[in-house]
Amino acid sequence: MGENTRAVHLPQPPPPRQEPIGLPVWRSASWASSGDHADVTDADVADNPTVDAFAAAVAALEGAAAPEDVAGQAFSSGMAAITGTLLTFLGNGSHVVALAPVSGATHKLLTGVLSRFGVSADFVDHADLLGVRAAIRPTTKIVYAETLATPTMAVADLRGLYQVARQAGALLVVDSTFATPVVCRPLEHGADLVIHSATRYMGGHDDCVGGVVVGRPDLVAKVRQTRIDTGSALSPDDAFLLRRGLESLPLRVRRMCSTAMVFAASLARHPRVRRVDYPGLPTHPGHQTARHLFDSGPEGTRFGAVVTLTPHGGFAAGAALTDRLRTAAVAPSMGGTHTKAVHLASVARSGDALSGVDAGAVRFAIGLEDAEDLIADVTQALDALGSLPRART
């Protein structure tokens, strides 16, 4: 053989004789098949095994007690997973009833992108189940909700939504990024498909991007076909990191929820705080629904790890509060080891669905630091607001 052929056809190691405990990264974009390939369809084409392992792992976690088999399909990002799912079940003339608030990117996808292809959407407040029912049309194909929705941390009444969707013959599609399968598994409460931005809690270290859809195998097979047709495959390296993150997901999420509970309860008492939105507080409108739907775990660890804190003083107070933070990073993401804070009105772009949110609201995505350090950090930043000139609201 010539030197190039020898270089290309290097010996391949045999499969290991012992089972690896860590997941192998199959860094191959092409797969050779033997025999007659004339009839090979998309359904036969292998997905990357590392990517499949991640999707199957999420399906196992979300489907732990689901009434039916659960399959999963991974995507290159959370938005790719949402886009792929919506494109699969919507077409020209289709209608979506989405619960508000919904993440800014999903709002834009529905109102700015899919609207150009003949899809219409109505947004109904989370608390208004009758409104959801009233918004249903003969063309409604999807009822779309987030289990926990920022910035108000609204809790979706999944069982009520399931009834409405079923009567309408529509699918209940739930973005459960903020809940994770640790605190809520929407398939157990009637959801047809569950989507995650795996970038957040599943990866958990701010170092990879991915998304995943899980649900009934026949529905997921259709979503997979859209993923193939539109080209949003997850990379095996990111799949490896995301799958690895799942192994410590319960430990991280329970700990973050526990810190968030203490953080919310403690800072709600600070005199410069106007309100705290956190479903763990008995005053939150979603508190009872969360108690019904969310998997209890140790007390105080099931209400999510995102807290929206609104200081007195409007826009200037919210901006000054984030400027003065020393421990929390100022960043719009969530789910990683570092606590992140974002002054919502400072980052809102035109068209963002921020109506009704106080101009001072700051969203804290709690990380793995010690609760006392986070509380001390926000307390010093709040104390310093005392010296602010009278703020515009």
Ligand X SMILES: Cc1ncc(COP(=O)(O)O)c(C=O)c1O
- Residues that bind ligand X in the complex, under the rule CB under 6 A: 77-79, 103, 105, 146, 175, 177-178, 197, 199, 209, 211
Min dist CB 335 to ligand X, Å, is 9
Q: Is the peptide bond before 236 cis (omega within 30 degrees of 0)?
A: no
**Nearest residue to 233 (alpha-carbon basis) of 75, 345, 119, 384:** 75
> In the β-sheet with 329-330, what is the strand arrangement from edge to edge?
273-277, 306-311, 362-365, 340-343, 329-330
Cβ distance to ligand X smaller for residue 146 or 192: 146
Minimum Å gap between C-beta 137 and ligand X is 25
Quick one: 94 or 176, whose CB is closer to ligand X?
176
Q: At closest approach, how far in Å is the CB of 142 from ligand X?
A: 15
Two tokens, residue 266: 């403690």
**Nearer Cβ to ligand X, position 81 or 171?**
81
Nearer to ligand X by C-beta: 84 or 314?
Answer: 84
Minimum CB separation of residue 77 from ligand X in Å reads 4
Q: Which is nearer to ligand X, 77 or 289 (CB)?
A: 77
Smallest distance from the beta carbon of 382 to ligand X, in angstroms?
A: 26
Residue with smaller CB distance to ligand X, 177 or 180: 177
- Nearest to 250, CA basis, from 53, 103, 64: 64
Closest approach of Cβ 150 to ligand X, in Å?
Answer: 7
What's the burial of 342, exposed, middle or buried (CB within 10 Å: 0-12/13-18/19+)?
A: buried
Torsion angles phi and psi, residue 201, rounded to 5: -80, -30
What is the nearest approach in angstroms of ligand X to the Cβ of residue 62? 15
Closest chain position to ligand X (CB): 78
C-alpha distances in Å from residue 55, one per residue of 46, 63, 84, 139, 238: 14, 12, 15, 31, 12
Residue with Cβ nearer ligand X (55 or 273):
55
Residue pair 77/232 in contact (Cβ under 8 Å)? The answer is: yes
Angle between helix 236-247 and helix 49-62 axes, rounded to 10 deg: 30
Classify residue 111 by its DSSP letter.
I
- Structure token pair of residue 25: 């990264």
